[in-house]
Amino acid sequence: MRLLSILLIYIMFTPLYGKDANSIGNEIREQSKQLLLNKQFTALNKMSHRFVEKQSRLPDGRWKITFMSFLGDLDKNNSKTSFERNMSLVNEWIKETPNAPLAYLTKAKLWISYAFVARGERYAHSVPKDKWPIFYERIRRAREVLETSKVITQDHPVFYTTMISIAKLQGWREEELRTIYDRGTSKFPGYYFIYFYVADYYLPRWQGSKQKLREFVEDAVERSKKQEGMTLYARIYWYLKWALYVRTFQPGNAEWPKMKQGFTRIMKDYPNSTWNLNSFAFYACLAEDWKKGKELLARIKKPNMAIWGDKHMVASCMEERGVKIDY
């Protein structure tokens, strides 16, 4: 127990020089998990409170509290046992510290994770009909947790991302979703994941269209401009890489000059992030801005393949233009 407390202090107060953002985020995630398993609820509460109060960020700009929200994830290899064990721990956490927002948020996210155990990761049309009632009942339970704990949880940014997830899964009307979005961005204008989760809603494949997505991104930039400049323009389309990828700069989607402006500000705010630098270079190549791409790749010692995908992408982008790459 003493060792865990020492590690907690280390993560909360020690600058982690030389480590990339994902490594630090994973350390926070693992540390949170160990604190939960060892029933160190007070330590978890302190860690969560400090991260939210200070709006603590990783070297790439993401908020550290996001990595504590993964406590609601389940072990996919043993999901039922994982759910029962974690739910028992979370109920104990709530009983011991009933005013801890992260405890209730973790409970809600556990129900969402457990809903997907029933549904699976299949496309909707291939989900067996008898699984849908189980899925929706568990999502209902997740929402119930949030609604009944709202007085405690609504001043925590993860409340809004979790409720937005539920809104999408339950098929809320746009006005209802926007109410949550408005409240969340009013309280936490710099918490990127509120914008990211709503951006999913506006994709053409779901309730949106190119125009609605574009209008949403412009609105997000306006809401956060005082604090973030144009960075939300870049970050939202960057987040949507999973959905848009090579279509990012097709007509009606992102505009490279605006995205470039956003990335430039991101690099100014977080100059030591190789993750951000690789991503800026990736999108410069995707936009066929060879001059900017060459300039950025010249600063990269080793491309991050989690961003580039494979060597072919790097080679087709820059090696033919005289930039030597070390894989």
Question: Does residue 48 contact residue 102 with C-beta atoms inside 8 Å?
Answer: yes
In this structure, what is the dihedral angle of CA atoms 41, 36, 152, 61, given to the nearest 10 degrees?
A: 110
Question: Does residue 270 contact residue 280 with C-beta atoms inside 8 Å?
Answer: no
C-alpha radius of gyration, the chain, whole number = 21
Confidence of residue 275 (pLDDT cuts 50, 70, 90): very high
Structure confidence at residue 213 (pLDDT): 95
- What predicted TM-score, i.e. pTM, was given to this entire model? 0.89
Cα–Cα dist 110/71, whole Å = 8
* pLDDT of 134 above 50: yes
Q: What is the pLDDT of residues 207-232, one digit of tens each?
A: 889 999 999 999 999 999 988 999 99
- Which SS3 state, helix, strand or coil, does residue 63 take? strand
Burial 189-222 (b: 16+ CB within 10 A, else e): bbbbbbbbbbbbbbbeeebbeeeebbebbebbbe
Handedness of CA 27, 28, 30, 35 (dihedral sign): positive
Give helix 41-53 / helix 101-119 axis angle, nearest 10°: 100
Which of these ranges, 105-114, 150-159, 303-312, has the smallest mean pLDDT?
Answer: 303-312
Q: What is the pLDDT of residues 14-54, one digit of tens each?
A: 444 447 888 999 999 999 999 999 999 999 999 999 999 99
- Average pLDDT rounded to a whole number, residues 88-97: 97
Structure confidence at residue 323 (pLDDT): 58
Q: What is the pLDDT of residues 233-256, one digit of tens each?
A: 999 999 999 999 999 999 999 999
Candidates 1.25.40, 3.30.1490, 1.10.3470, 1.10.286; CATH matching 1-170: 1.25.40
Average pLDDT, the chain: 89
Give the domain ranges of the chain: 1-170, 171-246
